[in-house]
Amino acid sequence: MKTKFAIVIVSAVGVILASSASASLLVNGDFELPNQGTSPSGSQFLGVGSTIPGWTVVGKGGVNVDQTFSPTPYWPGNNSQFMDLTGNTGNGGITSAAFATAIGQTYQVTFDALNGSLVYPGSAYTGAAFSLQASGGSLMIYSAVPTIPTVLTYLFKASGNLTTITFMDKSGFDSNAGWIDNVGVTAVPEASTIIAGALLLLPFGASTLRILRRNRTAYNW
C-alpha cells in the first residue's frame, strides 16, 4: 500500500511540474515563416534591418533562413527551416521581438544548434560560433558544437516587464558554424512553488491512503 501511495503523490507532483511549464514566449522560434518552399535555392538572405515574423536582423552582416532539405539535406533529422547566423559574410545576428516577462523570474532558453561546417562543403570550424544574450542578462558565447545536432540552454533572470534575446555570429565570416532552430523561452518554476503544490496534495494523499487501507482490511479474510 505504501508503494501505491507513493505512486499517487509522485504522479501528482509530476502534474504540477508539467502544468508549470508553458508554451514558448517567442514568435516563430522555429523560423518556419516565411516559408522558403517557393525559393529556387531553398534559402533567403536577410540583410541588416530586415525582419521576419518575431525577429529582426542586427549587427554588421546578414543572415540566411534555409531549408534543411534544399538543395541537400544538411541537417540530419530536421525536416524544417533553420537560421544560419553566419549568412554570407558573418558578423550578423537576430534579435527577437519583445516578450512579456516578470521581473525577478528565471527563464530558460532552449534551442537546437548545428555546426554546419561539419556537413556543408568546406573546412570544419571549431572556434567561437555565436553568442546569446537576453536584455539585462549575461552574455554567453558558444563554441562550434562538435556533435550533430546539439540541444543547448541559456538561463536568465528577467530585469524588466519586456525582454528580448539576441543571437550573434562570432566566427566573423561565412563559416556555417552557427546554425540554430527551435528556439523557445519558458519560465522556470520556483522551488517554493513546487513545494507549495506538493503540500497541497498531502490531504489528498492521506485520504487515498486511508481508502487503500480500508480496502485491504475489508478483503483480508
| pLDDT score at 68 | 80
In this prediction, residue 16 has a pLDDT band, given cuts at 50, 70 and 90, of very low
Sign, Cα dihedral of 150, 156, 161, 166: negative
Cα(82)–Cα(69) distance, rounded to whole angstroms? Answer: 10
| pLDDT score at 149 | 87
Confidence check: pLDDT of 8 > 60: no
Cα(42)–Cα(84) distance, rounded to whole angstroms? Answer: 12
Characterise 172 by phi-psi region: left (phi > 0), alpha (psi -120 to 50), beta (else).
left
- Which stretches of the chain are DSSP H helices? 2-20, 191-218
Higher pLDDT, residue 15 or 143: 143
**Domains in the chain and their CATH numbers?**
1-21+191-221 (no CATH), 24-188 (2.60.120.260)
Characterise 176 by phi-psi region: left (phi > 0), alpha (psi -120 to 50), beta (else).
left
